[in-house]
Amino acid sequence: MAADTARTLDADKTDGERELDRLFALQKKAYAATPFISYDQRIASLDKIIRLTEANEEKFIEAISADFGNRAKHETIIAEVVVTVSGAKLARKNLKKWMRPRGVATPIHMLPGKSRIEPQPLGVVGIISPWNYPVQLALAPAVAALAAGNRVMIKPSELTPRTSEALRDAIASEFAEDECVVITGGVETGQAFTETPFDHLLFTGSTPVGIRVAQAAAKNLTPVTLELGGKSPVVIDESADIAAATKSIAHGKTLNAGQTCVAPDYVLSPQSKLDAVVDGIAGAARELYPDIDTTSDYTSIVSDRHFARLKSLVEEARDRGVKIVEIGSANALHPQRKLPLTLIVDPPQDIGLMKEEIFGPILPILRVQSTDEAIAHINGGDRPLALYWYGSDNDARDRVLQKTVSGGVTVNDAIWHVAQENLPFGGVGKSGVGAYHGESGFETFSHMKPVFYQSKFASGSLLHPPFTARTDKILSFLRKIL
């Protein structure tokens, strides 16, 4: 009867779900046979990531651009290839140190025993990667998981199918299926992936989907790392160099046409400098993209659905009579879904673009009277994935950093804290759970196992029963010295 039920359940599965089950079973078996991957094997895996990323650079460039409609070659090289390779090289350089057991202090009454933390692979790690940086956000967490000695399964987004296929083929050219593999498929496969009992699951995407992923993983008590998003603020201080700040903000917002989880989502400007901030961002954007509607340097919006959503956010603001500054024609090259950088000046708080993550080249700019008002505005919403502060007043800077909570911060620039591989990358609250990059990534995908090595000269038996007056004397002594 049980066998019949199992066959019926299997018959209800899609081909993608059955392939997922096969690969997961294969990787679990491989982990059981070799639960601790050696240093040399891990180095070999990191070399494979470096090699396949560099060897497939042109294929990735073409696939990503085709999936988006247009994506600048140089953006893909910088954000996908360079970032991935640099992360793998950093892991390669530091792996021996990361793998080494870490000695920790042992209480005096437990000497001469020794205490250590010994990193251990978790097993099979699942990675759900998004569409906006479809190579980097699949391979960067894979680097951390492989460095930690795990088997890896990657489920890329169905919104970038050409890139998913290129990634699948590139991984297959270097790795055996029981080491690292890409599984493609639609919504059903993605849902099944979240319900697979991985030893750790990393998801990068929106907060609403992240909540569903966490709920599915919880059924198996699968630990999760959730890299989400939110409304990342920019705070311009009275002391800021407006020309430098606005050029940086324009670049941070137009990178990948704003389709970046850490893109500036809105700007808080001193009231006295609001017009200069608006003019500065607009002017900087025109310098970055002199022909924003036609240049191949400017990335398209990934799909018609996403394009329509962004247009509707702008139209809602327009209907409310809000000042709008568009850098480029609103309808140019619509088949390629080129949306101009659109500045929304002092919008009301109850419209869509102030209530949800924008994820596109639309930038609200709000006036504030003081640093304290900026802090209150930020703290009035969910904790953001990133925060950007511009200025030279260190006291004002420290007040913002100490009184707000965000996943990460860049001071006097935008986005670049994410490129620092020695800094952990992750969110807080609704912008994410956990972090990776560098050693933080190694530890995320490791069980940092505590081990106590008892000495043959241990005196702990003096506290064993039967308890006597001598026990009282020993306890009295210990309480004095502890």
Active centre residues (catalytic): 227, 261
Q: Peptide bond preceding 112: is omega within 30 degrees of 0, i.e. cis?
A: yes
Are the C-beta atoms of residues 278 and 326 closer than 8 Å to each other? no
Are the C-beta atoms of residues 327 and 340 closer than 8 Å to each other? yes
Q: Which amino acid is at 241?
A: D
- Going by C-alpha positions, the residue among 474, 430, 464, 477 that lies closest to residue 211 is 430
| Cα distance between residue 460 and residue 282, in whole Å | 72
Neighbours of 316 (CB within 10 A): 15
DSSP-derived pairing of the beta strands 233-236 and 224-227: unpaired
| Cα distance between residue 219 and residue 228, in whole Å | 21
- Going by C-alpha positions, the residue among 397, 348, 400, 390 that lies closest to residue 249 is 390
Tokens of 160: 């970038």
For residue 413, give the DSSP letter. S
Are the C-beta atoms of residues 223 and 200 closer than 8 Å to each other? yes
- Going by C-alpha positions, the residue among 30, 370, 306, 3 that lies closest to residue 177 is 30
Are the C-beta atoms of residues 216 and 198 closer than 8 Å to each other? no
Enumerate helices (H) and strands (E) in the chain, giving the number of each: 18, 18
